[in-house]
Chain A
Amino acid sequence: MIAPSEIEARIARVKALPVAVIEMRRALSDPKSSLVTFERILSRDPGLCANALRVANSAAFGLSRRVVDLGQAVSLLGVARLEELVMSAGLSTVLPERLEGYATTSAGFLEHSLVVAMLSRRLAERNEPRQASSAYVAGLLHDIGKLVISGFLRDEPEVARSLESGAGLCFVDAERQAFGSDHAEIGSAIAARWKLPELIVDAIRGHHHPALVELEAHRAVARFVHVANGLAHMVGVGADVGGMHRRIEDEVLAQVGLSGHQRELFLADSVDALNELRQQVHSSAGAGK
């Protein structure tokens, strides 16, 4: 067990989101903001700029010409995509190079986060289209608590080893047993420190056990992330020390409309998006997996 005060101290040590990300979130929620506002914020952060242009030029938009102008990219992406893009860029800046305790690299962590974000959004689009962007952000940040737990696991490798041997306990429950908290709970505390909306905070907290979330609207997003996370592990994206020792709750699957054949069809529908993300990560990581 780790003392709650120690856990809090470690949470406080997680990096803050970059200034541009915070400004962008503020601008996005301000009805007075215009494309020019967004363009100005983006243009001050070269990493964000490059990302915006890359996404605007990705296959998803299917343009025949290359977009080179930032303003053009912003109007093409639209507000919802802009929010997603800014958060993904923000996530990559707070990650350490390796998450030692989970035996994974930041590239592996990012790949899993991006895939869960994408699948969460697709599930929301089928069920609650208005929550699509929130589902994306919650999916993107669902494992952020691992930044803290990783340090605990590094100090107590026997916890990780007991899972590899397949003791039958799912990873998140093993974390709770060993440390008194788990990455879902810690992740929600980090999101709260970052002043993200309650909906995101709750969905992160409930992504392994959606029933923990009280508000139905928030619980719905937790369900999308729960299923997206399970499916991502199933297709092999996110192999860390926990391997494929996961649980997807059958009841939750039914609630998001993925029983039986629907599940296989959903996976089949998501293949192109999956391949695109995997390519992105593997080309930028130099196939270092």
Chain B
Amino acid sequence: MGRRVVEIAAIVVSDEPSDTIVTYALGSCIAVIVHDPVKLAAGMIHYMLPLSSISPEKAKLKPAMFADTGVPILFHKLYDLGCKKENLIVKVAGGGQIGEDQVGFEIGKRNYTVLRRMLWKSNVLVSAEDVGGCKSRTVSVEVGSGRCVVKTPQGEETL
């Protein structure tokens, strides 16, 4: 059984059913978790910022840093493993923010808004999510079962 860690601004996909994909401490970053129960494959991106337009050079080097450049790559990597779009189950976690009333600090919210718009445009439904609020989350998904767990300092729950 392998534990595959997703760093910040990275993507991990796997079709090894005994793998668990995990990312630590999301903060205002967002994890998109995708599972294919037919192919028994899963993937996760941990992106940090909404739009690559602030630094096209960085987006070239590390496309998974941004929602707009990273999320399509996650899906394509899964298609490369043989996953079918109609079978994919998509979950979202993260997008927290510091202090409820910090106006200039809505990166978490913007991360989420941009993602929803992208998924909506490509007809992808989100089956479950745990986003927003003043919490930092650690998320894992079991490739075989698709069981997705969100942990915070207050406890853990299955998404």
Contact = CB atoms under 8 A, between A and B. Distances in A.
A241 interface: yes
Given A264-B49, A267-B49, A278-B7, A239 B153 contact: yes
A264 B102 CA distance: 16
A271 interface: yes
Contacts of B9: 271, 275
A268 B55 contact: yes
Contacts of B10: 275
Interface string A103-139: 1100000000000000000000000000000000000
A25 interface: no
B136 interface: yes
Report the 10 A-B pairs with minimum CB-CB distance, sorted nearest first. A236-B27, A236-B25, A239-B136, A236-B136, A244-B134, A246-B98, A275-B7, A235-B27, A244-B98, A243-B134
A243 B48 contact: no
Interface of A: 103-104, 164, 166, 168, 170, 230, 233-237, 239-241, 243-248, 250, 253, 259-261, 264-265, 267-268, 271, 274-275, 278-279, 282, 287, 289
B127 to A, nearest CB: 23
Contacts, number: 116
A52 B113 CA distance: 44
B107 A234 contact: yes
Interface band, chain B = 35 or more
Contacts of B96: 236, 244
A164 B154 contact: yes
25 contacts: A166-B134, A168-B100, A230-B98, A234-B98, A234-B107, A236-B26, A236-B27, A236-B28, A236-B94, A236-B136, A237-B25, A239-B27, A243-B153, A244-B98, A245-B98, A246-B98, A259-B104, A261-B54, A265-B54, A268-B54, A268-B65, A271-B48, A271-B65, A275-B10, A278-B25
